[in-house]
Structure 1
């Protein structure tokens, strides 16, 4: 086994890999019967004692020789990534986004060939897969957009969905002028919500190859490029005073109620957040979902991909039981659509939470996998550049610059990012 190291760069999004099926379950069960105690790690601290308790009861009724214990973790990425330097990171866990594809075999049990699993599940080919094997199954599928309070936007006189960044900024300005709501909430202090902006790779260009093309450019932050469009919107909104006045004091859990009560107008989050926001709202019908303010040939697009992926700790003593839970969660729990997401199963239902997108004619973009042997290329460049596209520090830097806390201009930040990317690309690719 290779040395246990966790890559600094993140594997693809808010968003990527899948698996399961009867054949895979039989493979996993070859080591023994479906029995034993398993620990399941989750980031859902809000429903671990309610919804997940019901899942436990249903699963253990079907598998009476298995006992499931949940461990809910608030700083999931940070704590679990640290724990993975040991063998103690549960039996089933959400694969951290900071794990590079080439490192998946060191930490996770293979679930089966990608080609076979892709006959049943979405988000398999390009997400948490390596060398033809899948290592994780999506807990739900997300599309990318902006969750917002419809009533606040209407009170500000904004009745049309913005089709460009400038229109979006104008809308935020109207909200600031006409209401007491924070137009755009970044959730800076918790950090991880800022990584949701990265999920719009492919949304701007409507190109399934968008992520792979990062390995072919020296300047992702050049004007017109996807990262320029995404990060400029964040910078410009903060610089114009259209975000929370003190980003250091933001609070993720509190922000749900703030959006629902109309104290916050909008947040950039994956579609997984719609249900949570509706649950926290005084009137669930106030919560809407709009695409990123950008169109290609007059059409909105949204990147679609898997959320966190359930994987099996390669060190687990009860891999058959762990696989049984992983398969049951994907196939029978109903978690995906209950949480407003796309089912990981190809034959699964579509949630009503995406009705707004259907009305707008949003077209989904599912990112293409990298060529064999190049699965880690973008992540390797990102790690060499020490940018961390999926880490919060990168966009916290942008927020800090925009609010005048760092002394950097947008041009200085983007020029530095381009220079570091180009140098890293030369080191990794060699050309």
Structure 2
């Protein structure tokens, strides 16, 4: 069963500082009206988002977007800020709680969107015409109680970046399509004196990149409503299917397929090891294409394939899901101007629209009429995407904080301080705690 998703695209907007400056009329969609201001009065719009700005080329969020907005709207200044993922959520919520959050911010879909909708941080944008430019399945991922709260970015995909030269050197002639074939490929690389995998496990979030892919082949094909049952207390991480996910992931470390002392390397360091040709594979998402296709110490061709958790003869499941979207602060004084910018950006022909499309080569676009331009790196994956079942990232159906606990316990499992059963138990306890908080 293929989940209703569709495309991908880069994080379009995101950033920050406290909202400042006087603004325009924001009486739309139930917000309080301000006194009308002169049409071209200088204003500053603040934005906040997660991640790191591009270093190998001009960054879209912090450079290209502000510059092209200024060209079209000379009276508008975009103040943009990005924060590392682990700091982003805490910072955003803290700023929002004090009433001084960014005018525009990035957040995630489905259950995670409740983090900013329930406290009243996000402005309802139901009926905004720009939403019609995107696939309805992606737009609906940001709906709460039938109301829309964000402009989608698209769909993200998880997979394995691999070094074609090292695969050839080890005698691997086919992309592994099941778990046994993947382990066999890792063994061939290891036997050839090549490090099979590199992972930046110092950053806890990295564990998700592999876990969700394994779950797409192991958990959801057998029980597509697993997460709904999990939230209802009818399922748990102690279920054999999630135990299998954790056990298979642990196997990669037990057999030495992941570099030693991976807990001492962050994701950026792991990416550098890969592009320098020090490892044959790294598990990551399409959002890291720019970093992972940079020229390193050696030249080599890259490819990208899904991490297979399936047994031989069974279908592989892909991990693909709506990425984050652009939310507007419910208290912004600049709603009308923000809407004008969004309409300009997504008009299908403006310089800003063209720059957005060009910057996001490698994504499967959710904007209607934009074709996939992934290049050779994603060719193999995209062919599979057309015919294979795909599933959302597991944490999109979980309450915020659950994935953090799971990843923290997986780090302990990697270090040998925790067992598979212990990881599952800790995740179940955290889920019970979070669900109890929601009911208060």
Counterparts of 1:5-84 in structure 2, within 5 Å, are 27=28, 36-47=43-54, 50-52=58-60, 53-74=63-84, 75-84=87-96
Contact 1:141 1:344 in 2 (8 A): yes
Task: Tell me the equivalent position of 2:419.
Answer: 409
Deviation by residue 1:268-327 (Cα, 9 ceiling, x = unmatched): 222222233113546776221111213486543323322221111122221222334445
Out of 305, 319, 334, the residue aligned to residue 321 of structure 2 is 305
Task: Tell me the equivalent position of 2:166.
Answer: 152
Contact 1:235 1:399 in 2 (8 A): no
Contact 2:406 2:427 in 1 (8 A): no
Does 2:154 match 1:130? Answer: no
Deviation at residue 56 of structure 1 after TM alignment:
2.0
How many residues align structurally? 394
Out of 236, 244, 247, the residue aligned to residue 219 of structure 1 is 236
Deviation at residue 243 of structure 1 after TM alignment:
1.6
Deviation by residue 1:117-150 (Cα, 9 ceiling, x = unmatched): 3673355355232111222223342122222222
For structure 2, the residue ranges without an aligned partner over 5 or more in a row are: 14-25, 348-352
Please state whether the residue corresponding to 2:54 is helix, strand or coil: coil
Contact 1:91 1:316 in 2 (8 A): yes
Task: Tell me the equivalent position of 2:301.
Answer: 286
Contact 2:157 2:321 in 1 (8 A): yes
TM-score calculated relative to the size of structure 2: 0.74
Aligned equivalents of 1:184 and 1:159: distance in 2?
18
Aligned equivalents of 1:302 and 1:263: distance in 2?
27
Aligned equivalents of 1:230 and 1:221: distance in 2?
11
TM-score calculated relative to the size of structure 1: 0.75
Aligned equivalents of 1:115 and 1:40: distance in 2?
22
For structure 1, the residue ranges without an aligned partner over 5 or more in a row are: 1-11, 369-375
Larger Rg: 2
Task: Tell me the equivalent position of 1:356.
Answer: 380
Task: Tell me the equivalent position of 1:373.
Answer: none
Does 2:276 match 1:255? Answer: no
Counterparts of 1:32-431 in structure 2, within 5 Å, are 36-47=43-54, 50-52=58-60, 53-74=63-84, 75-95=87-107, 99-101=112-114, 103-105=116-118, 106-113=120-127, 117=131, 120-121=134-135, 123-124=137-138, 126-181=140-195, 183-197=196-210, 199-200=212-213, 202-204=216-218, 205-206=220-221, 209=225, 211-215=227-231, 217-223=234-240, 225=241, 227-281=242-296, 286-295=301-310, 298-329=314-345, 332=353, 334-335=355-356, 338-339=359-360, 340-353=362-375, 354-360=378-384, 363=387, 365=389, 379=398, 382=399, 388-391=401-404, 393-404=405-416, 406=417, 408-418=418-428
Give the 3 Å change call, closer, same or farther, for CA 211–275 of structure 1 in structure 2. Answer: farther
Contact 1:234 1:399 in 2 (8 A): no
Please state whether the residue corresponding to 1:83 is helix, strand or coil: helix
Contact 2:51 2:82 in 1 (8 A): yes
Of 170-179 and 282-291, the range deviating more from structure 2: 282-291
Give the 3 Å change call, closer, same or farther, for CA 125–291 of structure 1 in structure 2. Answer: same
Deviation at residue 151 of structure 1 after TM alignment:
2.0
Aligned equivalents of 1:87 and 1:112: distance in 2?
23
